[in-house]
Structure 1
Amino acid sequence: MIPFPLKTRKQTRIAMTVSEIIKLGSQKLKAAKKDDADFDSQCLAAFVTGCNISSLRLKYADSVTDREETKFFRFIERRINGEPLQYIIKEWDFMGRTFDVGEGVLIPRPETEQLVEYALDFLKDKSEPTVIDLCSGSGCIAVSIAAERPDAKVYAVEKFPGAFGYLLSNIEKIGVKNVNAVNGDIFDPAVLSDIEPDLILSNPPYIRTSDLSGLQEEVKKEPVTALDGGSDGYDFYRVLASHWMKKLPKGGMIAVECGEDQTEYISELFKENADSAESLNDLSGLPRIVGAII
């Protein structure tokens, strides 16, 4: 095991440079068999020195303060112990914007950006559309849609208080005025009962309960309420099909993210209330999105 730098009061501190802490941090992460060790070390160095990762190279020769060095290696230790990088730095980029994230909310992922892009393409010919984002979490979907389409009226539904707090903070942080945050349960038929949307979006929990124990350690740190889709992984898709799709008018659409082995079942489920359904592959070529037109 690579030891952490030790100092005593009697020792004269020899300041490390930004480049040196990045190198040592990366070595520690690699020794702990952490993926993306170089990238994580760079992100943490940028975070403790107060710069963004794109300008970090300009600071490589700069000395770090004792406080910055201490914080950096504490953060490295937290990563070694399985805490997600995003929870440590308390933010993550999504669709070109930086969202607040932390314990209690699902971390935004690139696959979900494709869901947003798919939605925006559907909305391009619609004026002042109404959009509902179910299981909104951090609000990355709802807020991104609202930012790209300021003429849209967006409703973001989130049940759990921890995630709902991040939803509210991201609405304020990004500065969108057209998102209505709703603290509600999508299984409650009274939620948004009087709203007729043009588009429904959701990245709901879809992992089978029996599969939760086999997830990566970092994923296990995310809220189980954002992961557990029930015994077969389809609990949320069934209520989307049986209740929420019935709110859509002719020509309206529902689009969801799901697991790579779930698109066929969800497509057939949605076809019961839709004229057509299709699945889309993610950047890795895996089927991860289902869209259905009423």
Structure 2
Amino acid sequence: MRNQHAVLIIFGALALFMIAPTLLALSTSLKPTAEADTPWAISSVWTFKHYTRVWTEGGFSRYFFNSFIISCVDALVMIVLASLAGYALTFMHFPGKQLIRLVFLAGLMVPVTAIVLPLYASIRNIGLIGTHLGVILCDVALALPIFVFLFASYFKKIPVSLHDAARVDGANEWQIYRKVVLPLAKPVVVTTGLLEFLWSWNDLLLRLVLLPRESSRTLAVGLLLFQGGQTRDISSLSAGAVIMALPVVLLFIVFQRHFVRGMTAGAVK
């Protein structure tokens, strides 16, 4: 019993330590500018004017829309492509299967920073610099190998007899994938969607390189530039940080159970 209490105390302290920066940012964003220099002090006056300022004057309404569109499309496209590739590598037999698996494996070893210039040149050559489509293509290409293996690992837990029974009943590969296999993979579908949304939402490097126009900027770039021009307004910066963090936090709270199940897929046989 004492050991359990000790473990609870330790994990409680760790949780408090991890959530403290978020609480500090939220508290600072609601304080008047004059009180922002005392971050841990409790203010007697709360205001939402900093949120209004960054949303309108800071252009965060446009940045939020750009980030939301790119991240949602990234997540949906990734779920479709990764699940199809994972299904093919798990259940289908075709020439070159092992070579394709090795190609995906090699994709896990390439750091993004090492191929930023080739990516920029490729996107520029097809005329997609400054467009959401160019960023989406890069996001999906860079993260696809991770989620292909995540889906393949989960699909291996599905009994082959279930797949064979559907084939005996006359179902083709597309019907088996859509009506039999994919519904059983809901945890890994949710995990893929959440992680890709998170990575896309928070990404800064590719957005700085591929989205030079202000009209196409995302929240990560907008917050960086707002920080450069408004370094003294700590309350407004905190409001911008809260706006950027809120959607991801809400998504993980809602889907946390499926996320944990998806992340542990294939860990136990």
TM-score, length of structure 2 as denominator length: 0.22
TM-score, length of structure 1 as denominator length: 0.21
Relative to its length, the structure with more strand (as a share) is 1
- Which structure exhibits the higher relative contact order, with contacts defined as CA atoms closer than 8 Å and separated by 6 or more residues? 2
Relative to its length, the structure with more helix (as a share) is 2
